[in-house]
């Protein structure tokens, strides 16, 4: 397994005046950017004796690698001078047509002309941030939200305002509070960023009623909504929710990715945007890296037009449902009563909330000492919150090690709570149960 360091730990930290002779040359946006110590822990977490719930990766063991090898070899043999050449910045028309069909399968309308092919969902987030965010501009996002989105928005010096979730996703009443607060400040949000389906890291989805309400609020407050649909096709029951793009197409910039339903290694995602925005995004994309790979685009075109890709998605769904069940069962039987977690019905993640006396960032080294890894919660917020939360990924770890990993983490939390009790006694507020808080289901 290749190193996977999630971008979580890339946080603004105290400037190291003593060590960096290039300091006076950097742009403001990167002066305080530094890798945190957590990054070093993640490389340790790759050791085979450790059960890692950290990286948010698909389980490729159910991919038909021979089929992918065959179609790729045939592309290079038959269309090699196209596959290995430069392409257009927007992406191949044939690729965009294939993606339109994939979106239709997810119930999301689009035309090929509205699409820009990107390097995974992450480049989509970067291009959107670069397109809309001036330093200090406000962006609204769920709290917690995807670490890579925080990294992209941070790198453009956004002022991120988080709106808490519950089991039905982003709370619309609290979004209204945030909008009212911004109005009082005389400011407006450049956009609202949301992952409505099987949110990363929350593991919850926006209810149908709230989708309608969000659409209403977008019209009422003249909002642009970034709809990140990385996990929409990975609902365990195979159902797809109503996309925001369906409800308010002119106000939505929609993001998709091949990383969860096919392969992250082809580094392919896309944006569907209203034409004027799409034009800007193509120009920014060309400035960023010229064009997507024709080779990986052709692989995806061939995959989506000649292979049973719906069956592959069903295989992923079934596998992840099985793994989620294993994890949720293990959590229910092993975790201390003071710990709370979400109950995902799709996607990759469970979100845990522990008593406030425990700091999940500080706890990670101990967890790795006990041969289990997770991602601490702070990276999923831009405001310092999340110290009592953590993300567990169930999609990637081997089926037969999920219970073992949960047991190790549960044992550690039992011990930590015991320590806290020995210091503060049973009634300390730090030990209060957290059920109902955070993104609780």
Q: CB–CB of 318/394 below 8 Å?
A: no
Closer by beta carbon to a second copy, 34 or else 428? 34
Closer by beta carbon to a second copy, 200 or else 353? 200
One residue of 101, 216, 220, 289 binding a second copy per CB under 8 A:
289
Joined tokens for residue 251: 């106000």
Q: Which helix (H) or strand (E) holds 314?
A: helix 309-334
When asked if residue 122 is in the footprint of a second copy (CB under 8 A), the reply is: yes
Chain-centre distance of CA 152, in angstroms? Answer: 12
When asked if residue 148 is in the footprint of a second copy (CB under 8 A), the reply is: yes
Helix, strand, coil percentages, rounded to 5, for the chain: 50, 15, 35
Closer by beta carbon to a second copy, 248 or else 358? 248
When asked if residue 276 is in the footprint of a second copy (CB under 8 A), the reply is: yes
Per CB under 8 A, contacts with a second copy among 188-247 are 190-191, 224
When asked if residue 291 is in the footprint of a second copy (CB under 8 A), the reply is: yes
Joined tokens for residue 124: 């989509």
Closer by beta carbon to a second copy, 28 or else 237? 28
Quote the DSSP letter at residue 346.
B
340 forms beta bridges with 353
Quote the DSSP letter at residue 7.
S
Per CB under 8 A, contacts with a second copy among 26-65 are 26-30, 33-35, 55, 57-58, 60-61, 63, 65
Per CB under 8 A, contacts with a second copy among 324-353 are none
Closer by beta carbon to a second copy, 186 or else 276? 276
The least distance separating a second copy from the CB of residue 190, rounded to whole angstroms, comes to 6
Q: Which helix (H) or strand (E) holds 115?
A: strand 115-118
Closer by beta carbon to a second copy, 287 or else 318? 287
When asked if residue 76 is in the footprint of a second copy (CB under 8 A), the reply is: yes
Any residues with CB less than 8 A from the CB of 252 and at least 6 apart, and which?
224, 225, 226, 227, 243, 244, 245
Give the Cα separation of 126 and 150 in Å (integer): 10
Give the Cα separation of 38 and 375 in Å (integer): 9
Q: Which stretch binds a second copy (CB under 8 A): 17-25, 208-216, 378-386, 417-425?
A: 17-25
178 closest CA partner among 211, 143, 202, 227: 143
The least distance separating a second copy from the CB of residue 73, rounded to whole angstroms, comes to 4
Closer by beta carbon to a second copy, 190 or else 378? 190
Per CB under 8 A, contacts with a second copy among 396-435 are none
When asked if residue 306 is in the footprint of a second copy (CB under 8 A), the reply is: no
Closer by beta carbon to a second copy, 3 or else 337? 3
The least distance separating a second copy from the CB of residue 128, rounded to whole angstroms, comes to 10
Classify each residue of 368-389 as buried b or exposed e, where b means 16 or more C-beta atoms within 10 Å of its C-beta. Answer: bebbbbbbbbbbbbbeebbbbb
One residue of 80, 308, 369, 398 binding a second copy per CB under 8 A:
80
Joined tokens for residue 176: 């209204």
424 closest CA partner among 374, 358, 328, 368: 358
When asked if residue 101 is in the footprint of a second copy (CB under 8 A), the reply is: no
For 51, the 3-state DSSP assignment is strand
Task: Quickly tell me which residue has 């509205």 as its tokens.
Answer: 114
Q: Which stretch binds a second copy (CB under 8 A): 145-153, 207-215, 228-236, 311-319?
A: 145-153
């Amino acid at each position: 397994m290749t190193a996977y360091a999630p971008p979580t730990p890339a946080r603004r930290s105290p400037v190291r005046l003593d060590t960096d002779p290039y300091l006076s040359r950097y742009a403001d946006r990167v002066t305080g950017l530094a890798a945190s110590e957590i990054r070093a822990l993640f490389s340790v977490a790759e050791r085979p004796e450790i059960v890692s719930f950290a990286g948010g990766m698909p389980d490729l063991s159910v991919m038909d690698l021979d089929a992918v090898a065959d179609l790729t070899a045939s592309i290079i043999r038959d269309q090699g001078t196209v596959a290995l050449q430069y392409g257009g910045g927007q992406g191949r028309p044939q690729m965009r047509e294939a993606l339109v069909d994939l979106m239709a399968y997810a119930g999301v309308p689009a035309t090929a002309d509205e699409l820009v092919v990107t390097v995974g969902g992450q480049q989509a987030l970067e291009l959107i941030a670069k397109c809309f965010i001036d330093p200090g501009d406000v962006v609204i996002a769920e709290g917690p939200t995807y670490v890579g989105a925080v990294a992209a928005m941070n790198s453009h010096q956004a002022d991120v305002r988080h709106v808490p979730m519950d089991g039905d996703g982003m709370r619309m009443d609290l979004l209204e509070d945030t909008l009212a607060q911004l109005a009082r400040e005389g400011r407006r949000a450049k956009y609202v960023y949301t992952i409505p389906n099987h949110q990363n890291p929350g593991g919850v989805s926006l209810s149908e009623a709230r989708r309608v309400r969000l659409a209403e609020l977008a019209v009422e407050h003249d909002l642009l909504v970034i709809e990140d649909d990385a996990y929409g096709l990975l609902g365990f029951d195979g159902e797809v929710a109503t996309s925001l793009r369906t409800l308010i197409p002119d106000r939505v910039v929609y993001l998709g990715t091949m990383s969860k339903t096919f392969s992250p290694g082809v580094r392919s995602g896309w944006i569907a945007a209203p034409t004027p925005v799409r034009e800007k995004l193509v120009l920014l994309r060309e400035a960023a890296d010229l064009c997507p790979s024709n080779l990986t685009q052709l692989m995806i075109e061939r995959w989506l037009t000649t292979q049973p890709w719906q069956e592959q998605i069903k295989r992923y769904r079934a596998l992840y449902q099985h793994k989620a069940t294993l994890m949720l069962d293990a959590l229910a039987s092993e975790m201390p009563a003071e710990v709370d977690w979400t109950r995902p019905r799709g996607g990759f993640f469970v979100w845990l909330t522990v008593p406030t006396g425990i700091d999940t960032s500080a706890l990670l080294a101990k967890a790795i000492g006990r041969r289990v890894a997770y991602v601490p919660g702070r990276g999923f917020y831009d405001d310092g919150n999340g110290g009592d939360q953590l993300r567990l990924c169930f999609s990637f770890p081997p089926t037969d090690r999920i219970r073992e990993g949960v047991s190790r983490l549960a044992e550690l939390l039992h011990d930590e709570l015991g320590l806290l009790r020995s210091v503060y006694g049973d009634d300390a507020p730090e030990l209060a149960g957290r059920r109902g808080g955070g993104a609780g289901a």
